[in-house]
Copies of this chain bind each other. A is one copy, B any other.
Amino acid sequence: MIDKSQSAGKPIKTAISDEDGIDFAIIELFFFAYRDFTSDPDQILADYGFGRAHHRVLHFVNRRPGLTVAELLDVLKITKQSLARVLKQLIDTDHIVQVQGPRDRRQRELYPTAKGRALALALARPQSRRIRAALEDSGTTERVTIERFLEAMVNPELRAQIDIVPAQTSGKNHGDH
């Protein structure tokens, strides 16, 4: 079964390192961190028969109530067809409602219901707890450092999406805090 007979290349026994100045340390940390970060809500979602896609939709509808389907697609960077099933389920289970657009009646504004709001909070709670613990554990008083780093990781053209968010977050919108 272990073929390797003829054409196979020889095994390289040395670990990949910082050749070419590649930052494997943070690459790997990012992977582990995101994996565990998403595992928190995944457990709750399983009880509802929902997946990560439902979470993302629910999150953004709660963050930006009244956004349209097109805007949601743009934020999530997925296709209409991918959103369709997930959104339908959230509407059928009364987590999200559609309201006809006031100016443009073709548009459907998406709003959370009380039920949808509650679920969004329940999902975010363990994640927020993890973040708070991480900020404490890592002894970081400068939360801004992390925020700025993460924001800088996002494609520049897409950073606008982040700023369209309510308030007092990235320190870019001049609201109170």
Contacts and interface: CB of A to CB of B under 8 A. Distances in A.
Contacts of A139: 148
Which secondary structure dominates where chain A touches chain B? Answer: helix
A29 interface: yes
A91 to B, nearest CB: 8
A24 to B, nearest CB: 7
A60 B28 CA distance: 9
A113 B8 contact: yes
Contacts of A12: 65, 111-114, 116-117
A99 interface: yes
| 5 tightest A-B CB contacts, nearest first | A9-B113, A11-B111, A25-B169, A134-B152, A138-B148
